[in-house]
Amino acid sequence: MDEFEKTKRTKLVRAAQRGHYDHKTVHAILDEALICHVGTVIDGKPAVIPTAHWRQDNRLYIHGSKASRMLRAAQGSEVCIAVSLMDGLVMARSGFHHSINYRSVIVYGVADLVEDAAEKLDALELFMEKIAPGRWPELRPATDKEIKSTTVLAVDLKEVSAKIRTGPPVDDEPDYALPIWAGVVPTRLTLGEPIADPRLAEGVEIPAYLLPEAS
């Protein structure tokens, strides 16, 4: 199984059993999550911005307007990208042992500018495939102006770790006898019924890839 090499920054010290470094686990979390949080350093101070992300092999992509302050701070610089999926609220018998079930990935790396127009367009198509597989060929094609005004950055997945907590609370042994309800309240991101644009052209049907049963 391919694994990312642990570094000082990615090796879990506490709760080391929650750490995962294999490509498969990391990729699955990155692919399921729609948004990430990108950390940069601006004038020596931390800045964090949420944005969408996508992945191909061991390359993680983000994009946005050429005018975005975050992208300008990230371009060619060290970034830290965090992706988190919340799976449940862990209710223990003491406040101290309450927790959250989650799957997260932390990526450290330099954000490279994707300069080649063809590579950029391929990357954007890949992003659409993640969100709505099959939608890209149906869309009005991208114009050169649109591609030029979009910045795409890529971070090579090298210094990466995943962290996962699952299962019931872990309480202090004597506390298990207490008459306190304990367990997990599952949480998940759900997609609702699509809402058509009020300006939808007449006769346009909702595509199959957006129907709730497709997800």
Q: Distance (Å, rounded) from C-alpha 30 to C-alpha 82? A: 9
196 — alpha (psi -120 to 50), left (phi > 0) or beta? beta
Residues in 169-188 that interact with its own copies by CB under 8 A: 169, 171-172, 175-188
Of residues 105 through 134, those in contact with its own copies by CB under 8 A are 106, 108, 124-125, 128, 131-132
The residue among 57 and 137 lying less far from its own copies, judged by its C-beta, is 137
Give 1 or 8: the residue with its C-beta nearer to its own copies.
Answer: 8
Let me know how long the chain is.
215
Taking the C-alpha atoms of residue 53 and residue 67, their distance in angstroms, rounded to an integer, is: 18
Which residues 50-109 are close enough to bind its own copies by CB under 8 A? 50, 52, 65, 67-69, 78-82, 84, 86, 88-89, 91, 93-96, 98, 100, 102, 104, 106, 108
The smaller minimum CB distance to its own copies, of residues 14 and 115, is found at 14
Element of type H or E holding 45? strand 45-56
Q: Residue 142 has what DSSP assignment?
A: P
Which residue among 23, 28, 41, 113 contacts its own copies (CB under 8 A)?
41
Of 1 and 181, which CB lies nearer to its own copies in the complex structure?
Answer: 181
Residues 6+ apart with CB under 8 A from 48: 37, 38, 39, 40
